Amino acid sequence: MPLVDLFTFTRAELTSPVQFLGGRWVVSAYDDVRAVLADPVTFLPDNALTAVTPVAPAALRALVRARFSLPPTLANNGSSSHADLRRLVASFFTPARVAAAEPRIRSLVSERLGGADLVRSLAWDLPAIVLMDLLGLPNVDIPTLKRWSTGSLEFFWGDITRERQMELVDDVGDFHQWLVKRYHARDGELFCALADAGVSAEDSAGLCYFLLIAGQETTTQLLSTALRRALQDRSLWARLPEPGVAESFVEDVLRTETPVVTWRRLTAREVVLSGVRVPAGAELVLLLSGKETDPRHLAFGYGRHFCLGAGLARLEAAVTLRTVAEHEPSLRLAGPEPEWLNLLSFRAPKSVAVTR
């Protein structure tokens, strides 16, 4: 199977719980994926942020000029430094801080009602605004941040040409340089905390690069998917304002149609998964969504790299769905099937057109 098929395959197309596709081993059984994520010694996180499409020499030179680097910090860190860095970042995502964000989320949703495309008018920037608030990062130009972060997702997780890499590489480098400048200026709570903890500028920029992308792009994708799914079921849409309905629905979306569809690991030694022998140095692609009949999912990962923003993403999705359904019960999906974001690890509708 050619590499591109890895970007579009579905669970139903797999013939084995461990299958070699496009040069990678796709692992789909829940117990296997959970075991892989639970063992960072045998299954290394080193490739978590590695570009899926090899970076062309010209693009690589541009990254070098921008002094771009992604040192092991969080998602790609299997070293002893991970625990302290994770603890520092986790202090910004405590249950109390997340819960305190609910009025702000509800207010932002209310301000964005009435749009013809719920992705553009609501899901696109709301998570970024909430994240910047939570991390104490003021004066962030949200449209620029979104351009940088969507471009970075495509650059590192897309099946793209060399020409497309060159179109995106300047934004990737500019984003990284902006993070370094804010660190040196101690501009914002997060950067002050990193500097006070003795984290270097390089490590801080690498950490924040992924945090500021994953912390809001995946929630934009979750909101987009959940809104579209909810509007396909008129009975559900009418019940979303009821206590607990939105929360249960969000969990079902995460289980069956999570926007973070895969994650990656490297085998440190030869292993056997579901009776299949996988060699050392193999790249694994782990399916995080559950089967239709399986109540379990791993949408936020598992183990030491479990998503720090899981509680925030769940809250944003539930509050958004409930608020929109309360204020706009007559919403209906409109237009043709939307274009979808199809990256190795991220999938979501790019638009949710509605009519009233």
| pLDDT tens digits along 51-92 | 999 999 999 999 999 999 999 999 999 999 999 999 999 999
Domain residue limits at 194? 39-260+299-355
pLDDT in tens, 169-220: 999 999 999 999 999 999 999 999 999 999 999 999 999 999 999 999 999 9
Please, which pLDDT band fits residue 335 given cuts at 50, 70 and 90? confident
Q: Do the domain assignments include residue 21?
A: no
Total domains present in the chain: 1
pLDDT tens figures, 166-176: 999 999 999 99
User: Is there a domain that residue 323 lies in?
Assistant: yes
Please give the share of the chain, as a percent, with pLDDT higher than 70. Answer: 96
Question: Does residue 334 lie within any of the structural domains?
Answer: yes
With beta carbons less than 8 A apart as the criterion, state whether 152 and 213 touch. yes
Phi, psi of 263 (to 5 degrees): -145, 170
- Cα separation, 124 vs 134, whole angstroms: 17
Domain annotation covers residue 187 = yes
First to last CA, the chain: 44
Which pLDDT does position 107 carry in this prediction? Answer: 98
Structure confidence at residue 9 as a pLDDT band (50, 70, 90): low
Residue 245 near residue 239, CB atoms below 8 Å: yes
Which amino acid would we find at residue 307? C
Residue 27 placed within a domain: no
Q: Are 18 and 286 in contact (CB under 8 A)?
A: no
CA 118 to chain centre: 19
Length of the chain: 356
Let me know if residue 254 belongs to a domain: yes
Within the chain, strands assigned E span: 18-21, 24-27, 43-44, 262-267, 271-273, 276-278, 283-287, 332-333, 340-342, 347-349, 354-355
At a CB cut-off of 8 Å and minimum separation 6, what does 322 contact?
240, 241, 245, 246
- Which 3 state secondary structure label does DSSP give 9? coil
Cα torsion angle, 165, 161, 149, 116, sign: positive
Can you tell me the distance from the alpha carbon of 222 to that of 118, in angstroms, rounded to the nearest whole number?
12
- The C-alpha angle 205, 208, 213, rounded to 5 degrees, equals 130
What is the per-residue DSSP string for 283-339?
A: EEEEE-SPPTT-S---TT--GGG--TTHHHHHHHHHHHHHHHHHH-TT-EE-SSPPP
CATH number for 152: 1.10.630.10
- Kindly provide the b/e burial profile for residues 239-265, where b requires at least 16 CB atoms within 10 angstroms of the residue's own CB: ebbeeebbeebbbebbbbbbbbbbbbb
For residue 101, tell me if it sits in a domain: yes
What gap in Å lies between CA 314 and CA 247, rounded to an integer? Answer: 7
pLDDT digits (tens, 9 = 90+) for 32-46: 999 999 999 999 999
The residue ranking higher by pLDDT, 14 or 257, is: 257
- Asked if residue 16 is part of any domain, the answer here is no
| Whole-structure pTM value | 0.96
